């Protein structure tokens, strides 16, 4: 028989762990002195401790180990448990590989976004300009911002030969919205034509604070912040809808390089009274 200290050295399990395993009924000493409470272990305990250590290395939980010890008499009996654990670990391995890949992608996007922000701050100047009235065909919808591309595609098929400039989008919300954004994809037209479902009208001219943004659409927020700061400093009141003109972006077939997208932000303003 081994004392708990001797058994600890022989088994490679700390005394604290042995006491914990005893409390959980996982590794019960061969004998316990009723008066002193001392625990004593034998050779069968030592063999069982070795099995527990091996299973813990395979990341079995204590509950699973207890079930294996109760159900299995030899390695052959444990094969089903080991096979099941192998599948679980394979799934975790794939999961963690995917997470690492996604983290790498996010870090790369953050580096690129920082570069774009620095570029826009250093090279893109804010200007004030009166945007002339223009005839447009548009469809005002409520949804997610990424729905904009579908509307542009549909609109281009209906008014393609009448288009006279770059696509633009009007944003009627004074805030960012996830699911129910209010916006209107538009195309400028050479002349007014009747187009079922779409609204063809003259978009009024407006005095605007304008900034040319270079980079993917998910970095537009930094440029909007610059425009809003400028307008506030000048004492202007922002009017809706704000406008985005897509000078260079994804095509109908090819997505292009988002780092090279060019978007002109046009924010209508008026003097505060």
Q: What is the pLDDT of residue 190?
A: 92
Q: How far apart are CA 208 and CA 134, in angstroms?
A: 15
Q: What is the pLDDT of residue 118?
A: 63
The SS3 assignment for 237 reads strand
Residue of 169, 168, 262, 267 lying closest to 227 (CA atoms) = 267
- Residue boundaries of the structural domains of the chain: 2-71, 124-271
Exposed (0-12), middle (13-18) or buried (19+): which is 222, by Cβ within 10 Å? middle
User: What sign does the dihedral 186-191-194-200 (CA atoms) show?
Assistant: positive
Q: What is the pLDDT of residue 247?
A: 93
Residue 259 token pair = 């780092």
| CATH no. of 2-71 | 1.10.1660.10
Top CATH class of 124-271 equals: alpha beta
Going residue by residue through the chain, which has 273 residues, state the pLDDT in tens, using 9 for 90 and above: 889 989 899 988 999 999 999 988 888 998 998 888 889 899 889 988 888 888 888 888 888 888 887 777 665 666 777 787 788 778 888 888 888 888 888 787 777 666 666 655 655 789 999 999 999 999 999 999 989 889 999 998 888 889 999 999 999 999 988 889 999 999 999 999 888 889 999 999 999 999 999 888 888 988 999 999 999 999 999 999 999 999 998 765 556 788 889 999 999 998 765
Alpha helices in the chain (DSSP H): 4-11, 15-23, 43-57, 62-71, 75-123, 148-159, 220-234
By the 8 A CB rule, do 154 and 137 touch?
no
Residue of 137, 154, 118, 131 lying closest to 199 (CA atoms) = 137
C-alpha distances in angstroms, 123 versus 60, 212, 214? 57, 10, 10
The Cβ of residue 189 has, within 10 Å, a number of other Cβ atoms equal to 21
The SS3 assignment for 158 reads helix
DSSP code at position 124: P
Residue 220 token pair = 């537009």
Residue 26 token pair = 């996982």
């Amino acid at each position: 028989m081994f004392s708990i200290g001797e058994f600890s050295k022989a088994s490679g399990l700390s005394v604290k762990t042995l006491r914990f395993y005893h409390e959980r009924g996982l590794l019960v000493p061969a004998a316990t002195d009723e008066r002193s409470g001392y625990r004593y272990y034998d050779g069968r305990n030592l063999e069982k401790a070795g099995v527990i250590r091996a299973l813990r290395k395979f990341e079995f939980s204590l509950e699973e180990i207890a079930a294996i010890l109760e159900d299995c008499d030899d390695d052959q009996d444990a094969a089903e448990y080991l096979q099941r654990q192998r599948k679980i670990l394979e799934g975790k391995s794939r999961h963690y590989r995917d997470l690492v890949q996604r983290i790498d992608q996010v870090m790369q996007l953050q580096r690129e976004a920082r570069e774009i922000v620095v570029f826009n701050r250093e090279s893109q100047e804010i200007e004030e300009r009166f945007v002339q009235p223009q005839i447009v065909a548009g469809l005002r919808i409520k949804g997610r911002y990424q729905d904009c591309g579908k509307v542009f595609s549909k609109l281009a098929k209906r008014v393609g030969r009448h288009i006279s400039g770059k696509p633009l989008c009007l944003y009627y919300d004074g805030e960012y919205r996830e699911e129910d954004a209010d916006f209107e994809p538009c195309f400028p037209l050479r002349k007014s034509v009747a187009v079922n479902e779409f609204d063809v009208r003259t978009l009024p001219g407006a005095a605007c604070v304008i900034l040319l943004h270079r980079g993917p659409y998910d970095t537009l927020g930094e440029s909007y912040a610059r425009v809003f700061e400028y307008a506030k400093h000048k004492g202007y009141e922002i009017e809706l809808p704000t406008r985005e003109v897509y000078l260079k972006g994804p095509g109908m077939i090819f997505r292009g390089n988002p780092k090279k997208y060019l978007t002109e932000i046009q924010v209508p303003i008026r003097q505060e009274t």
